[in-house]
Amino acid sequence: MASTYVAGGDVEYGRYGNPTWAAFEAALGDLEGGRALAFSSGLAAVSTVLDLVGHGCKVVAPRHAYNGSVLQLADLEARGRITAELVDVADTAAVTKACAGASLVWIESPTNPALEVADIPEIVAAAHEAGAHVVVDNTFATPLLQQPLGMDVDIVVHSATKFIAGHSDVLLGAIVTGDSELHDVLKKRRDMIGAVPGTFETWLALRGLRTLHVRMDRAQANAQELVRRLSAHPAVAEVRYPGFGAVISVVLDQGALAADLLTHKTTLWVHATSLGGVESTFERRRRWKSEPATIPDGLVRMSVGIEDVDDLWDDLAVALDQLAPQRPV
Ligand SMILES: *Cc1c(COP(=O)(O)O)cnc(C)c1O
């Protein structure tokens, strides 16, 4: 917990480095297969990467990427810094076509909250052909379920706030790259901007990382079982799940009102934004004015935790049954 160090050692000042950051970065770097840098939040990491894009250059990004990332792109575009082309990241032909003339291709897969999956290797090939760098926001999959650097992606970004820290008590971000030149550039920018994490937060995230595999196993198994049960419920019009991970999006038959009723009628499921904690949380995403209108009004994003799956289902079923009273036995 030091802001300064005895002069003449490896680190002089707390903005340039910290042994706890180094331990966290070594662990995350190992998992992703590159070198990691910790940041004060996921969005601080996103902003540091977008800051590398040259004046007037083009960025391709998913229209349903994390809202905060899309808002940063829109802000940079409004100020004349970059041009952004938003694409359906699951439409590989559209993404590869958009790569022409781009300097950065931003991928999020699965996307938050639409849960679309990108064909990362195909997009990487087209982007590199066009001379663009590729970034993957790997927050939803975590390095346990997807390792983008192994698919030739240049940079991985994380909101470690979510599954990596895993207990809804920390804000933290990370950037991982296999390119040491890029690593040095990013480290220099972190030094300069000061978007550095707290020592205690980083220590908590490192502690969280130690149970990531156990938490993810359980949360994913819970999610897969809930997908089966939700798909059979008459109040649910659509279940979106990429087949892996612990986030499900459901679209309710009766739209926003039903979604709001559901999120207020449970006792175990907590109505809250964010995701990736040990406790199950959910929210209707369009309650945020900034969420695009292409996300259905009645879409509820569910972050499945590690509780008993029958407890989770019973709690949901009581609420869902009230939305569909004529449910066949
Ligand atoms: C939450 C989130 C972010 C932003 O991270 P913060 O730690 O909240 O700043 C970025 N990308 C994705 C996919 C997220 O879910």
b/e map of 237-272 (b: 16 or more CB within 10 Å)?
bebbbbebbbbbbbbbeebbebbbbbbebbeebbbe
pLDDT category at 232 given cuts 50, 70, 90 is: very high
177 located within any domain: yes
What pLDDT score does 300 carry? 97
179 is known as an active-site residue? no
CA of 196 to the centre of ligand 1 (A): 16
44 located within any domain: yes
12 located within any domain: no
If asked whether residues 112 and 255 sit together in one domain, one would say no
CA of 42 to the centre of ligand 1 (A): 5
If asked whether residues 156 and 232 sit together in one domain, one would say no
* Cβ–ligand 1 contact at 25 (below 6 Å): no
If asked whether residues 163 and 132 sit together in one domain, one would say yes
Average pLDDT over residues 213-217: 98
pLDDT category at 326 given cuts 50, 70, 90 is: low
Q: What is the CATH number of the domain that holds 251?
A: 3.90.1150.10
pLDDT, tens digit, for every residue of 28-61?
Answer: 999 999 999 999 999 999 999 999 999 999 999 9
Question: For residue 219, how many C-alpha atoms fall within 13 Å in the half-sphere facing its CB?
Answer: 32
Average pLDDT over residues 146-150: 98
Interatomic CA distance for residues 316 and 324, integer angstroms: 12
10 Å CB burial of residue 274 (0-12, 13-18, 19+) is middle
218 located within any domain: yes
CA of 148 to the centre of ligand 1 (A): 17
Listed range (54-58, 87-91, 325-329) with the worst mean pLDDT: 325-329
If asked whether residues 177 and 55 sit together in one domain, one would say yes
Ligand 1, pocket-test mutation among 136, 161, 285, 303, most atoms within 8 A of CB: 161
9 located within any domain: no
CA of 43 to the centre of ligand 1 (A): 6
**Residue 328: CB atoms within 10 Å:** 5
What pLDDT score does 324 carry? 75
Average pLDDT over residues 168-187: 98
* Cβ–ligand 1 contact at 300 (below 6 Å): no
3 located within any domain: no
What pLDDT score does 40 carry? 98
Domain range for 38 is 19-209
Interatomic CA distance for residues 245 and 227, integer angstroms: 12
The proportion of the chain whose per-residue pLDDT surpasses 70, expressed as a percent, equals 98
Average pLDDT over residues 81-102: 98
Split into its structural domains, the chain has a count of: 2
What pLDDT score does 270 carry? 97
* Cβ–ligand 1 contact at 68 (below 6 Å): yes
What pLDDT score does 301 carry? 97
* Amino acid at the residue 17: G
Decide which of 148, 183, 209 is a domain's last residue: 209
Contact 236, 255 (CB under 8 A): no
66 is known as an active-site residue? yes
Q: Which residue has the tokens 């970034």?
A: 135
Q: What is the CATH number of the domain that holds 54?
A: 3.40.640.10
pLDDT at 235 over 70: yes
Q: Whose CA is closest to 32, among 161, 164, 132? A: 164
Residue 48 makes CB contacts below 8 A (sequence gap 6+) with 39, 175, 186, 189, 190, 193, 195
If asked whether residues 26 and 79 sit together in one domain, one would say yes
Average pLDDT over residues 150-169: 98
Decide which of 209, 244, 262 is a domain's last residue: 209
Number of the ligand 1 atom closest to the C-alpha atom of 112:
13
The proportion of the chain whose per-residue pLDDT surpasses 90, expressed as a percent, equals 96
What pLDDT score does 325 carry? 55
If asked whether residues 35 and 151 sit together in one domain, one would say yes
If asked whether residues 303 and 182 sit together in one domain, one would say no
- The Cα angle at residue 37 between residues 118 and 48, in degrees rounded to 5: 70
* Cβ–ligand 1 contact at 147 (below 6 Å): no
* Cβ–ligand 1 contact at 64 (below 6 Å): no
Decide which of 194, 209, 224 is a domain's last residue: 209
* Cβ–ligand 1 contact at 159 (below 6 Å): yes
* Cβ–ligand 1 contact at 99 (below 6 Å): no
If asked whether residues 224 and 175 sit together in one domain, one would say no
137 is known as an active-site residue? yes
64 located within any domain: yes
What pLDDT score does 14 carry? 96
Ligand 1, pocket-test mutation among 39, 40, 43, most atoms within 8 A of CB: 43
State the pTM of this model: 0.96
CA of 45 to the centre of ligand 1 (A): 9
Ligand 1, pocket-test mutation among 139, 281, 301, most atoms within 8 A of CB: 139
Number of the ligand 1 atom closest to the C-alpha atom of 65:
13
If asked whether residues 296 and 265 sit together in one domain, one would say yes
151 located within any domain: yes
If asked whether residues 25 and 120 sit together in one domain, one would say yes
Average pLDDT over residues 275-282: 98
28 backbone dihedrals φ, ψ, rounded to 5°: -70, -40
Q: Whose CA is closest to 299, among 265, 249, 227? A: 249
Q: Which residue has the tokens 């819970």?
A: 222
If asked whether residues 223 and 205 sit together in one domain, one would say no
If asked whether residues 188 and 45 sit together in one domain, one would say yes
CA of 40 to the centre of ligand 1 (A): 11
